[in-house]
Every structure is written in C-alpha cells, then in structure tokens.
Structure 1
Amino acid sequence: MHLLALCAAGGLAAAPAQAEDGALPYDLPDTVDSTLAPGSDEPARYIQDTNDLDENILLPAARPQDDDPDRKWSRDYIAIAAGVINSPTYSGSDDRRFLPGFYLRGRLSGYSFSTRGTNFQVDLIRQRRGQRTDWKLGPIINLRSDRTGGVKDPQVEALGDRKLAVELGISAGVTQSGILTSKYDQLGLRIVGLKDISGKHGSWVVSPTIDYGSPLSKRAYLGVSASVNVYGKGFGRYYYNVDPLGSAASGLPVYTGAGQKATAGKYTIGVAGAYGLSGDLRKGFVLVGGAQYGRIMGRYADSPIVAEAGSADQWLFGGGVAYQF
C-alpha cells in the first residue's frame, strides 16, 4: 500500500515501495488502489527516494464493481491525492524533513496505471469486471534521488551528492479478493525488479511485497503491508561505501562492506487508513493517512553513513486528501 495514496491512495508515501522501498497499494475489486508517493515542487535533488517511501504506507481502492451486466472490463476511473509526508533526509539518516506529496492512479479500458513514490507503472493485463483473482504485469520506471541534495548531516554531506539515477524494470504480482472479511478485502503479492539505466549506481534492486487491506465499513478502510529490498553490489558501493577520499573529507572511517555482495538491505512494514468525508469511500473526498517503519540491515546498517552518522531505524508518516472521479 502507499502513503499519499496511503495518504491519498504513493498514500503520501510515498509510498514504495515500490517498486523497491517504497508507500500504499490497494485495489479493491474495481476500486482505486490508493498509494501516495512523495512528490515535490523542489528540484529533483531534493525529492525523497521513491522506493524507500513506497512500500508501505497504504491507501485503499475506492469503488466497487459496476452493476452493468454488459460491461466486460472493470470500470474506468481517475484518482488524485495531495498531502504532506515526514521522512528521513536520506535512506539511513536520523535527520528528518517535511515534503509535499501527490498521487495519481487510474484505469482505462481495463488497463491500470499508477504513481508510487517517484515511480510510474502500467499494468498490461486487463482487469475484467467481477474477477476475484487479478494478475498484474507491466513496466515500471523509477527516479532514485537518495542523497542527491538536502542532506543535513555535515559528515554525510562532505561525502558529496549522488546523481539522480533512472531505473527501468518490471512489476509482477497477483491480488485475490474475498479472503477473510468480505468479498472486498484483498491479499496481494508482488515483486518489482529495477535496473539502473543511467549509469549512476549501475546495479539493481529487487523488492517482494505482501499486503492486505479491507473496508471496515462503507466509510472506513484499513490496510497493512510488508516488503524486503535486495540490492546488487553496485548499489551498496555507490550509496553506502566510504572510500579513502570520502573518509578524509568527512571524518567517517573507510568502509567497503556494502558493495561486497548482493544482499537484503532493508525491510519495511506499514499501516494506512482512509475515511470517506461523504460517508462513502467509493466516491468524493477521502481523508488518508498512515505510518511506515523501515529497518536497514546487515552490511548496510554497518556502514558509517548509517551506524555513525544516521540510524538503522527509519520512520515515515503522512496524511492528505484524495478525490476520485
């Protein structure tokens, strides 16, 4: 699920997550999967990494199935959301900042699309009206802006900014409706694989995610999500290693452990909810909000960027307003 989406549907969160790391992802049958991803009016270097926000501040889908028996595909819709998120200044930081967030999600002729954090994805498997099992497969493009600017810690700042990375990949998964509480609750599994195509970190990220969401009433919705991020060696070298020159400039010790092998580097768990201001989650304005906890692990947590200058515990909070039409 997502934050702004979570918060709106990114929910604001941003909401990996993603793609890897990142926000609130839910699709009730023929509803809006709300996830809010963090967007910003500031230059790209100040935008929080999309994936670390994505998975998992959740946001619900919005409308039930169309009652038209002649309709073949799930109904068309567009959903937008806006709000604010509070997040670490970089993945591993113990400093925080507020950022504006936005979210866009929709479906046209059975094909779904959405933003999640700073990524955009399209589902190329058309969703048929009334189906309980929804398979998903499609391309995803992501902008990774971690440590591209706005770092508050003077030691990490002395290491120099990283450049904005452009990642391209595939998102695949399945969502089953009618699991526990009603025909509208959903259990979803998905995996996102991303590869840097811009030559910045030159590596890859793979993120499996599981999420569950259910309407509590016609007016309220709650969802939870969990995800793990597995990083390639080049990712660790670029974002978490400290070379001798960086050590001399920052005072942090030399560290090469993060780039020695591909490994799981972070897990996240999130919760998000929505409340229909009109009395009905299926239409009109909806308040959204959520929280996400992430923990940096293993070789990544041992990096002085995290262990000495930051924190392995990563919290994300967000809230906002969504509207579907």
Structure 2
Amino acid sequence: MVGLGAAILPDYEGSDDYSVSPIPAAIGRVSGFNFMLAGNRLSVDLIPDNFGPGIDFQAGPVAALNLNRASTKGIDDDRIKALGKRKAAIELGGYLGIAKTGVITSEFDRVSFSASYRKGVTGAHSAGIFTPTVSYLTPLSTKSIVSVFVSAERAERGYARSYFGINPQQSEDSGLPVFNARGGWKNWTLGGAGAVSLTGDLRNGLQAFGGVVYRRMLNDFAQSPVTRIAGDRDQWLGSVGLAYSF
C-alpha cells in the first residue's frame, strides 16, 4: 500500500499552534520481509514470516527524519522563533517486537508489542530516544479496517537540551525564562486510525484513510517554557489521505 495524506500537526513539539503538512505512507512485504513508512519514520522487519494466525517475531532497523524547529517559517509564536532554528536530525536505530495474529475478532486481527531505540547521528542532537508501543488492529470486513495504539517516548538529556532547554542568550532574545532541561520520559501517546476501500476491497484498489492522535507531554518536556508558557502539554494530531493497494 502506498499513500499520501495531509496532517494537522503542532508547529513544533510542544506548540499550541497548528499547521497542515503532507505525509507519505507505505506498508508492504517483499520476499517475506515487511516494511513500513509512516510520515517521517521507516522500519523494516528482517525476520520473514508467513500470512495467517500465529506468532510473529520482529526485529530490524528503524530510521527517522526529525524536522522539529528545522525552519521557523511555519511557527506562529515569535518567542519560539527567537530561540533560533535547529538542524534537521537523522535518527537511526533498531527495534524488537512480537505480534500475534488471530486473537479476538477473527483469524486476521493482530495485537503487537514493540520497543525501539534510535539515536541522533547528525543534526540537532546526538541523543537516544526509547519508544515502547502496544497496538491492536482488526479488519471489520474486506472493505474496512481499524487500529488503536498506545506508546511512550523516553529521550536522553541531549534531546531535551536541544529542543526544550533555554540558555541565557536565548532567554534574552525570546523573553522566555532560562531552563535547564534534563532527559526522561517525554510523552505518552494514544491514537487510532482506519481505512475504507473506495473500490470494493482493501487488498487491491483505492482507499481512504484517516487517524487521530492525542499526546501528553511529561516532566521537563512539559515544564519547559517552550511548552508551559509558549505552548501546551496537550498535543493533537490528525490526518486524512488516499492510498492504493496492490
């Protein structure tokens, strides 16, 4: 499946202003190996598996392109603009997971748990981000499917300082107070998504998809003036788009 959609996203991580951005998506299987592209993140499962009920072990690389505050053009808050731009960060790592197909509703529904760790290798930070995720997916018919997930992120100090810390010069420029951000649990997230076929079958043809996500910022990431004063610890994300399966 390949698709393209439009997402409503916070202007920056921790913002209370929102803007629209295009998002690519792709899910597929090549020679038994699964891959997934969701917005700015790509993962590949290097453990081949077959269709049908059973246990699926997962492991492979994960990569993300972090564009948080890489440009100030889309940021409405002048105080955040005054803090300056951050370089785009490439984050590389890996993940492990386990999933079971055929759980509750049919032989095709799926529950999974995964944990990933990625580290900034170039750009704004060189810190690590740990992300555990639990998800459940079930087809409602051959024409529609829904999924829900819950996840959390724990970011190291270098990440916190790059995006949520404010040094004396930045404080003078922006009017926001000095803040020494430390690492720790950054947020938890709850989301849901669905897709419906527009041509009769999700396995082949055109489909519409959409999703909504709620994210709650935690600890220093919520207490930073970037979030507490200029933004909001409650974050919402939404998306709609079209995809084609073959």
TM-score (norm 2): 0.96
Q: Does 1:295 align with 2:216?
A: yes
Take 1:103 and 1:216, find their aligned partners in 2: how far apart are those partners? 21
Q: Does 1:268 align with 2:192?
A: no
Structure with the larger RCO, 1 or 2 (CA within 8 Å, 6+ apart) = 1
Opposite residue 280 of structure 1, the aligned amino acid is D
Which sections of structure 1, spanning at least 5 residues, go unmatched? 1-78
Asked if the contact 2:114/2:134 (under 8 Å) is kept, the reply is: yes
Opposite residue 134 of structure 2, the aligned amino acid is I
- Map of 1:136 onto structure 2: 58
Opposite residue 253 of structure 1, the aligned amino acid is P
Q: Does 1:183 align with 2:104?
A: no
Take 2:62 and 2:144, find their aligned partners in 1: how far apart are those partners? 30
Opposite residue 317 of structure 1, the aligned amino acid is G
- Map of 2:136 onto structure 1: 212
Q: Secondary structure at the match of 2:81?
A: helix
Asked if the contact 2:117/2:130 (under 8 Å) is kept, the reply is: yes
Q: CA deviation at 1:209?
A: 0.3
Q: Secondary structure at the match of 1:246?
A: helix
Which of 95, 102, 121 is the matching residue for 2:17? Answer: 95
- Map of 1:203 onto structure 2: 127
Take 1:282 and 1:178, find their aligned partners in 2: how far apart are those partners? 18
Opposite residue 245 of structure 1, the aligned amino acid is Q
Asked if the contact 2:53/2:100 (under 8 Å) is kept, the reply is: no
Asked if the contact 2:189/2:215 (under 8 Å) is kept, the reply is: yes
Q: Which deviates further from its counterpart, 218-227 or 310-319?
A: 218-227
Take 1:246 and 1:280, find their aligned partners in 2: how far apart are those partners? 54
- Identity between Structure 1 and Structure 2 (%): 37
Residues 131 and 181 of structure 1: CA distance in aligned 2, closer, same or farther (over 3 Å): closer
Q: Secondary structure at the match of 1:197?
A: strand
Q: CA deviation at 1:199?
A: 5.6
After the TM superposition, which residues 1-325 of structure 1 pair with which residues of structure 2 at under 5 Å, given as runs? 79-130=1-52, 132-149=54-71, 150-198=74-122, 200-256=124-180, 258-259=181-182, 262-325=183-246
Q: Secondary structure at the match of 2:3?
A: strand
Opposite residue 168 of structure 1, the aligned amino acid is L
Q: Secondary structure at the match of 2:173?
A: helix
Take 2:109 and 2:36, find their aligned partners in 1: how far apart are those partners? 20
What is the RMSD computed on CA atoms of the aligned residues? 1.2
Q: CA deviation at 1:131?
A: 5.1
Take 2:41 and 2:27, find their aligned partners in 1: how far apart are those partners? 12
Q: Which deviates further from its counterpart, 194-203 or 83-92?
A: 194-203
Opposite residue 239 of structure 1, the aligned amino acid is Y
Alignment: residue pair count: 244
Q: Secondary structure at the match of 2:122?
A: coil
Residues 142 and 306 of structure 1: CA distance in aligned 2, closer, same or farther (over 3 Å): same
1:149-193 Cα distance to aligned partner (Å, 9 max, x none): 122210011000011111110021111111111111110101110
1:264-303 Cα distance to aligned partner (Å, 9 max, x none): 1111100111111122222211111110000101111000
Take 1:184 and 1:237, find their aligned partners in 2: how far apart are those partners? 44
Q: Secondary structure at the match of 1:130?
A: coil
Q: CA deviation at 1:202?
A: 1.6
